[in-house]
Amino acid sequence: MILRTMVEIIKGDITTLKVDAIVNAANTTLLGGGGVDGAIHRAAGPRLQAECAMAGGCPTGSAKLTEGYSLPARFVIHAVGPVWSGGDQHEDELLASCYRTAMRLAEEHRIDSIAFPCISTGVYRFPFERACGIALAEIFRALDEGSRVKQVYCVCFSDADYETYQEVLTTFG
């Protein structure tokens, strides 16, 4: 029950959130793209792009942390989700690994509040409900294991996504 109160599904633009870290749904180059990645880079300004260019890319299923620059958030955790290819290319494990790595980075950087977009559910076409289940399972696992993170926001960009995410949340005890 305590864990449940630490995780909130919200609707909105992740770039506006004043949290310690927002998570980006990045690609392996970390050099920016469309969707939430483009929005984060636009809001953070060119210094984010410069730091990302130094990072040397990031493998699928992993994540790297940068400063937030002009964002209200102090840090950006760039997580690289899998492209959905039917489900037999380790997509579930790779998506889970994104959330696990992001929560580990949050721990290492003494982050209290973190906001996740719905990684891989846009251009990468991961089935939305399935992605929500994986996201929540990993977030609850990290909190259960004693993460110092106090507040987690799962940010939806549409009403339909918000409704679905809330429904999936009710299936977690």
| Helices of type H across the chain | 2-6, 35-44, 46-54, 91-108, 128-144, 159-170
Could you tell me which of 7, 24, 28 has the C-alpha nearest to residue 117? Answer: 24
Question: Which residues ranging from 1 to 30 are in contact with ligand ADP (CB under 6 A)?
Answer: 13-15, 25
Binding map of ligand ADP across residues 42-71, x = CB under 6 A, - = no contact: ------------------------------
Rounded to 5 degrees, what are φ and ψ at 141?
Answer: -60, -45
Among 6, 31, 39, 55, the residue binding ligand ADP under the rule CB under 6 A is: 39
Question: Which residues ranging from 63 to 122 are in contact with ligand ADP (CB under 6 A)?
Answer: 81, 117-122
Among 69, 75, 116, 124, the residue binding ligand ADP under the rule CB under 6 A is: 124
Between 65 and 95, name the residue whose CB sits nearer to ligand ADP: 95
Residue given tokens 């996201």 in the structure block:
135
Concatenating the DSSP letter of every residue in 55-97 gives TT---TT-EEEEE-TTSSSSEEEEEEPPPPSSS-SSHHHHHHH
Least separation, in Å, of the C-beta of 1 and ligand ADP? 28
Between 3 and 162, name the residue whose CB sits nearer to ligand ADP: 162
Binding site for ligand ADP (CB under 6 A): 13-15, 25, 35-37, 39, 81, 117-124, 155, 157, 161
